[in-house]
């Protein structure tokens, strides 16, 4: 099987103005790891740049925000002492506490800072990311120590409303549970060779490969399930609980580069998932997906359609190779 499987689809039609036959070419690509399909469409302007006044929305939402410094201690829950004696985890300015609206046995929210209610993508620095990721690593370790069967950890983000975030104040979300999510289950079931073969194929192809920041490999997804989707792989690590300070900092460096590039592309909303597996999963490679989401706008178009939600099939009009061109050599050391 080819690592980078693609099929050309030709959609023929008669042009409504000229009556001439025209053909639209669509590339159907198959994800080398999970087998998900992705349709790479001609550029149709489906993801317009942000022209929304985020600062105004920040001012509007701040007075009642439960994650802001004036309210965070009174309005957010605490962990039971079996997880964390002082109830919250913190590193630098970042603070992690239980998600009031839990999605899992252990469901965490971590703000970059109680003082940063307004944090556009260009301002999410390596330091803010490293501190926030560090709270998630501490949380995953504490849960594992308290409940050894909770072995499936992930670090995630819904950033801004279009990505699924119900609160404006920027934050990450952690999940640690006894059961995997669907994607964790799919990825953890792969043989070690699948990860190395994919990385080798992308290094050889070059056009989507972004670089290695030391211990982390970055590339643009060959078959994205969401717009401008990037992936990172951390060989030799399986769970977020295994990230030491150096790796957390390196990962934060890469994420800051990626979010800076998104900002330049005009995006202000994203999803992130760092998919962990149980620490003893042989051959698993800790990996993440980062994807842009539609911008806030009145009567905006969602980038998640029947294809993504119900067929598990991506459809993007920004070619992955164009995303790699826009990101350029910023990941190259």
C-alpha separations of 18 from 29, 290, 307, 312 in Å: 32, 42, 31, 36
State in angstroms the smallest separation of the CB of 73 from Zn ion.
13
C-alpha separations of 66 from 90, 114, 160 in Å: 17, 9, 16
Q: Which is nearer to Zn ion, 71 or 194 (CB)?
A: 71
State in angstroms the smallest separation of the CB of 267 from Zn ion.
21
State in angstroms the smallest separation of the CB of 320 from Zn ion.
35
State in angstroms the smallest separation of the CB of 57 from Zn ion.
11
Residue nearest to Zn ion (CB): 65
Q: Which is nearer to Zn ion, 76 or 241 (CB)?
A: 76
Q: How does strand 230-234 pair with strand 286-293?
A: antiparallel
State in angstroms the smallest separation of the CB of 166 from Zn ion.
13
State in angstroms the smallest separation of the CB of 181 from Zn ion.
28
Q: Which is nearer to Zn ion, 63 or 328 (CB)?
A: 63
- Site for Zn ion, rule CB under 5 A: 65, 67-68, 117, 169
Q: Which is nearer to Zn ion, 118 or 312 (CB)?
A: 118
Mutual angle of helices 320-327 and 245-265, in 10-degree steps: 110
CA dist., res. 136 & res. 96, Å (int): 7
């Amino acid at each position: 099987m080819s690592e980078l499987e693609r099929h050309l689809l030709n959609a023929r039609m008669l042009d409504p103005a000229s009556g001439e036959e025209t053909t639209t070419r669509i590339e159907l690509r198959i994800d080398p790891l999970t087998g998900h399909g992705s349709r790479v469409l001609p550029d149709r302007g489906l993801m317009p740049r942000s022209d929304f006044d985020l600062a105004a929305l920040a001012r509007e939402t701040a007075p009642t925000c439960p994650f802001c410094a004036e309210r965070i201690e009174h309005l957010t829950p605490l962990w039971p002492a079996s997880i964390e004696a002082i109830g919250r985890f913190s590193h630098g300015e970042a603070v992690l506490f239980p998600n009031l609206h839990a999605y899992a046995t252990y469901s965490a929210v971590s703000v970059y800072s109680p003082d940063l209610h307004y944090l556009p993508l260009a301002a999410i620095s390596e330091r803010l990311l490293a501190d926030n990721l560090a709270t998630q690593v501490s949380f995953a370790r504490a849960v594992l120590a308290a409940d050894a069967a909770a072995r499936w950890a992930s670090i995630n983000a819904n950033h801004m409303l279009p990505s699924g975030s119900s609160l404006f104040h920027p934050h990450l979300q952690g999940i640690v549970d006894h059961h995997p999510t669907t994607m964790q289950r799919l990825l953890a079931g792969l043989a070690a060779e699948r990860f190395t073969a994919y990385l080798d194929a992308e290094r050889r192809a070059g056009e989507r490969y972004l670089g290695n920041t030391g211990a982390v490999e970055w590339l643009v997804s060959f078959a994205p399930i969401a717009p401008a989707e990037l992936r990172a792989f951390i060989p030799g690590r399986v769970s977020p609980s295994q990230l030491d300070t150096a790796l957390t900092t390196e990962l934060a460096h890469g994420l800051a580069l990626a979010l800076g590039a998104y900002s330049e592309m005009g995006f202000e909303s994203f999803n992130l998932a760092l998919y962990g597996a149980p620490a003893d999963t042989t051959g698993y490679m800790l990996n993440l997906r980062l994807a842009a989401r539609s911008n806030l706008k009145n009567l905006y178009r969602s980038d998640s359609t029947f294809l993504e939600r119900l067929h598990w099939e991506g459809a993007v009009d920004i070619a992955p190779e164009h995303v790699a061109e826009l990101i350029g050599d910023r990941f190259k050391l």
